[in-house]
């Protein structure tokens, strides 16, 4: 069973830790336990309860009213709200988190399919899947989900992206740039790169997709052969923090004629310096703006 700190509950639910404590004291909505060293922690059940409370509170329900609901009433009210608020997407994020905790593929597929029908694949990724993955990233970084949970979710999203990419009909625009997409050697977190692939193709631009775990020498060979205009990569855990600057400098020096776009957790550090032909992407919307400008 996972153990969450109150700060992790804050990140996952959007409710401030101070507010969570007040709700505990006044309304007894959660029942934290304590470790052998007397540190408070919360269970999967607490997280699910708080996610449901957050959703109802967001929709205008007062906490005093929510606190009087039984667990069954709380769940039923959330389900009814989800049916009534078809235009609201926040409940899909909640459902996906719950599906991840329970490893319930059917529930995940239902939420993903529903939101895709509502807003289309691109907006489903942007408005639901990415906020969901951000929450999962918090859990993963703080070791509150097992590798099995992370792999379960990542593979489901990866499957959706591959099917969507396979279904695209690409008509390349005359004069559009060519992108080369890859992950550094040892890097296996592919979802953001796959989504970039989907977005590039959606903008009718050419993409060379080399995928995960690419040795640098193979990147050089491919570049020398095909001379793409733009190189994109994502660094989630590789290279490690103390090696990122050297890797960025190596990319810039090896491919001086290319524009290089860098995304992911490891390139967000404030101490990094980006050579002239390299560009940090702070969020996926930054990449969408790049594509729009070059279309």
Write out pLDDT tens, residues 131-178.
888 777 666 555 556 778 878 888 999 999 999 999 887 777 777 899
Q: What CATH number labels 86-167?
A: 1.10.1240.10
Do the Cβ atoms of 108 and 117 come closer than 8 Å?
no
Listed by start position, the domains of the chain span 1-79, 86-167, 178-294
Q: How far apart (Å, rounded) are the C-alpha atoms in residues 207 and 228? A: 9
At 206-253, the pLDDT tens digits run 999 999 999 999 999 999 999 999 999 999 888 988 899 999 999 999
Position 150 scores a pLDDT of 78
Q: List the beta strands (DSSP E) in the chain.
A: 33-34, 40-41, 178-184, 206-214, 230-234, 259-263, 278-280
pLDDT at 1 over 60: no
Q: If you average pLDDT over residues 1-29, what whole number do you get?
A: 83
User: How does the average pLDDT of the chain come out, rounded?
Assistant: 86
Whole-number Å distance between alpha carbons of 82 and 248: 45
The pLDDT tens digits of the residues spanning 20-57 come to 999 988 988 888 888 888 888 888 788 878 888 887 88
How many other β-carbons are positioned within 10 Å of the β-carbon of residue 93?
24
CA dihedral sign, ordered 109, 115, 119, 124: negative
Confidence of residue 86 (pLDDT cuts 50, 70, 90): very low
In CATH, what number does 1-79 get?
Answer: 1.10.1660.10
Superfamily of domain 178-294: Cobalamin-binding domain (3.40.50.280)
Q: Does residue 81 carry a pLDDT above 50?
A: yes
* 161-173 tens-digit pLDDT: 999 999 887 777 7
pLDDT at position 2, please? Answer: 64
pLDDT at position 139, please?
62
Does 134 or 187 have the greater pLDDT score? 187
């Amino acid at each position: 069973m996972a153990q969450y700190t109150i700060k992790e509950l804050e990140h996952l639910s959007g409710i401030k830790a101070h507010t969570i404590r007040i709700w505990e004291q006044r309304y007894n909505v959660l029942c934290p336990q304590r470790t052998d060293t007397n540190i408070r922690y919360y269970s999967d059940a607490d997280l699910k309860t708080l996610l449901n409370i957050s959703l109802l509170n967001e929709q205008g329900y007062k906490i005093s009213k929510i606190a009087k609901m039984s667990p069954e009433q709380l769940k039923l009210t959330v389900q009814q709200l989800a049916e009534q608020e078809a235009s609201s997407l926040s409940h899909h994020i909640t459902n996906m988190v719950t599906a991840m905790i329970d490893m319930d593929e059917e529930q995940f597929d239902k939420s993903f399919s529903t939101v895709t029908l509502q807003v289309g694949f691109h907006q489903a990724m942007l408005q639901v899947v990415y906020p969901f993955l951000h929450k999962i990233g918090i859990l993963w970084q703080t070791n509150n989900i097992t590798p099995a949970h992370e792999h379960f979710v990542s593979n489901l999203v990866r499957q959706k992206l591959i099917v969507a990419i396979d279904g695209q009909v690409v008509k390349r625009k005359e004069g559009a740039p060519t992108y080369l997409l890859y992950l550094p050697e040892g890097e296996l977190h592919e979802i953001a790169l796959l989504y970039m692939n989907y977005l590039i193709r959606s903008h009718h631009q050419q993409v060379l997709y080399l995928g995960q775990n690419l040795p640098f020498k193979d990147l050089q060979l491919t570049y020398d052969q095909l001379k793409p205009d733009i190189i994109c990569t994502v660094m989630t855990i590789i290279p490690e923090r103390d090696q990122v600057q050297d890797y960025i400098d190596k990319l810039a020096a090896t491919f001086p004629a290319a524009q290089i776009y860098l995304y992911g957790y490891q390139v967000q550090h404030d101490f990094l310096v980006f050579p002239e032909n390299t560009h940090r992407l702070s969020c996926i919307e930054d990449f969408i703006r790049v594509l729009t400008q070059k279309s």
